[in-house]
Chains A and B, each alone.
Chain A
Amino acid sequence: AQKITQTQPGMFVQEKEAVTLDCTYDTSDPSYGLFWYKQPSSGEMIFLIYQGSYDQQNATEGRYSLNFQKARKSANLVISASQLGDSAMYFCAMREGPIIQGAQKLVFGQGTRLTINP
């Protein structure tokens, strides 16, 4: 079974609109972390936002927020007021298990290609 599922291969949104990118996950570990990364055409992976499984509040970072619904095992990324520069691939990823010193391996979803239209 896929541990991270992103069901939207591609999305097209008008500039300045809000957009939600879907991500569902599958784990039996009570401690985990969820990440979103942006990959523009240049290829680099840009960290956007993080949500820990025990965090009570949804994470926010500027125009990015994570809609964390633990019971549904979903961690959707919401981008408010989209900009042309938001056009890129977006990956949802999960770390399973508690935090130990140093980063731990991530499992990535298949990604969603977001295109912002002017």
Chain B
Amino acid sequence: GAVVSQHPSRVICKSGTSVKIECRSLDFQATTMFWYRQFPKQSLMLMATSNEGSKATYEQGVEKDKFLINHASLTLSTLTVTSAHPEDSSFYICSAGGRGGVISTDTQYFGPGTRLTVL
């Protein structure tokens, strides 16, 4: 139980294009989803928190117009990197918490991550 999937696992795009990353909870209802960014050999940096049906809350310093987050249902959240540039290249990880199935209500369950490379 408590499976979170991310798609795609890897993406390479040209500078200036937009990239959408999907995060799905497969066997529970994700009332809250989180998006993190991780640079090589560094820790996870929280970008934003999204609750189903409401606008995402962004961390200080994260551009909301650059990183669009949509949490349209209890099983799906998307992160769109708009007009991507090489400095946006990173490992993006989502996590989800919520209810149902075998999950613990206080635990975040992480997706496998998406490695974005912007040329």
Task: Give the interface of A toward B (CB within 8 A).
Answer: 33, 35, 37, 42-47, 50, 52, 91, 95, 99, 101-111
* Residues of the A chain whose Cβ atoms lie less than 8 Å from the Cβ of B44: 45, 91, 108
Pick from A37, A105, A111: contact of B110, CB under 8 Å: A37
* Interface of B, helix, strand, loop or mixed by DSSP: strand
* Interface of A, helix, strand, loop or mixed by DSSP: loop
- 7 residue pairs A–B, Cβ–Cβ below 8 Å: A43-B91, A43-B112, A99-B106, A101-B99, A103-B96, A106-B34, A110-B43
Evaluate whether A103 and B95 lie within 8 angstroms (CB atoms) in the complex, with A43-B112, A43-B115 already known.
Answer: yes
Q: Is B99 a contact of A102 with CB atoms below 8 Å?
A: yes
Q: Is A102 a contact of B110 with CB atoms below 8 Å?
A: no
- Apart from A43-B113, A45-B93, A50-B104: 14 A-B pairs, beta carbons within 8 A: A33-B106, A35-B108, A45-B95, A45-B110, A46-B110, A101-B105, A102-B32, A103-B108, A104-B97, A105-B49, A106-B34, A106-B46, A110-B42, A110-B43
Size category of the binding interface on chain B: 20 to 34
Evaluate whether A102 and B105 lie within 8 angstroms (CB atoms) in the complex, with A43-B93, A108-B43, A109-B43 already known.
Answer: yes
* Residues of the A chain whose Cβ atoms lie less than 8 Å from the Cβ of B51: 102
* Residues of the B chain whose Cβ atoms lie less than 8 Å from the Cβ of A42: 112
Nearest-Cβ distance from residue A70 to partner chain B, whole angstroms: 18
Question: B67 in the interface, Cβ–Cβ < 8 Å?
Answer: no
As a 0/1 sequence over residues 18 to 49 of chain B, the CB contacts with chain A under 8 angstroms (1 = contact) are 00000000000001101000000011101001
As a 0/1 sequence over residues 86 to 97 of chain B, the CB contacts with chain A under 8 angstroms (1 = contact) are 000001010111
Chain A: which residue is nearest B38 at the CB level?
Answer: A43
Chain A: which residue is nearest B44 at the CB level?
Answer: A108
Chain B: which residue is nearest A9 at the CB level?
Answer: B41
